[in-house]
């Protein structure tokens, strides 16, 4: 069984992130160092008790999370493109600026105790396991009814609520 250890950061206000993203990349690097990597993210309501959307960013750039989240929250259709996340929030009557964000990086990935390479298939399995665990996410469309990935165990650390500490799929 694959065992993935995630370290969660946040919560960060989406409204604050939007203001930060209007400034230079170096500013956001300093203010939000957890954005400087690939990983997973979870938008939550203000009470931090309900997941609105869970996603991943793993495009190979050193700022995968920053680039993905920046696109999702800054592209509002006003004088620019409209991100799918912004569109989904509008359709679900969610004020995206009222949301908070948590981020996770993979601390360790093993299979039967041996280190394994982190690849797109593994990232997809982890994302789908997280979504399946939080079946009540408003915006996610795939993965809520059934987990179809490989056998996996996710150990969450840091500020991971409302997720459980251990997820087995």
* Residue 101 Cα distances to 41, 71, 144, 151, angstroms: 7, 14, 20, 27
Burial of 70 (0-12, 13-18, 19+ CB in 10 A): buried
pLDDT over threshold 90, residue 8: yes
* Residue 90 Cα distances to 46, 53, 54, 144, angstroms: 17, 13, 17, 21
Question: pLDDT exceeding 90 applies to what percent of the chain?
Answer: 76
For β-strands 166-168 and 100-111, DSSP reports them as unpaired
| 102 neighbors 6 (Cβ within 8 angstroms) | no
Q: Which residues of 22-32 are buried (b: 16+ CB within 10 A; e: fewer)?
A: eeeeeebeeeb
Q: What is the mean pLDDT of residues 18-41?
A: 90
Task: Kindly report, residue by residue over 118-152, the tens digit of the pLDDT.
Answer: 999 999 999 999 999 988 888 998 888 889 889 99
What pLDDT is recorded for position 78?
Answer: 78
Strand partners, 7: 105, 157
CB atoms within 10 A of CB 114: 7
Residue 3 DSSP class: E
Instruction: Give me the sign of the Cα torsion angle 27, 24, 45, 143.
Output: negative
Q: Where are the domains of the chain?
A: 2-168
Task: Kindly report, residue by residue over 63-122, the tens digit of the pLDDT.
Answer: 899 999 999 999 887 788 899 999 999 999 999 999 999 999 999 999 999 999 999 999
């Amino acid at each position: 069984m694959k065992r993935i250890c995630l370290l969660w950061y946040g919560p960060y206000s989406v409204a604050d992130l939007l203001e930060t993203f209007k400034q230079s990349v170096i500013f956001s690097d300093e203010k939000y160092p957890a954005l400087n990597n690939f990983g997973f993210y979870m938008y939550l309501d203000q009470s931090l008790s309900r997941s609105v959307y869970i996603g991943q960013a793993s495009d190979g750039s050193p700022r995968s999370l920053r680039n993905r989240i920046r696109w999702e929250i800054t592209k509002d259709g006003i004088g620019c493109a409209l991100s799918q996340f912004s569109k989904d929030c509008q359709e679900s009557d969610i004020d995206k600026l009222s949301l908070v964000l948590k981020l996770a990086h993979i601390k360790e990935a093993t299979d039967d105790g041996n280190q394994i390479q982190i690849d797109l298939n593994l990232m997809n399995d982890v994302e789908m396991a997280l979504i399946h665990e939080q079946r009540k996410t408003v915006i996610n469309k795939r993965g809520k009814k059934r987990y179809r990935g490989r056998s996996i165990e996710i150990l969450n650390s840091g500020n991971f609520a409302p997720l459980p500490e251990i997820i087995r799929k």
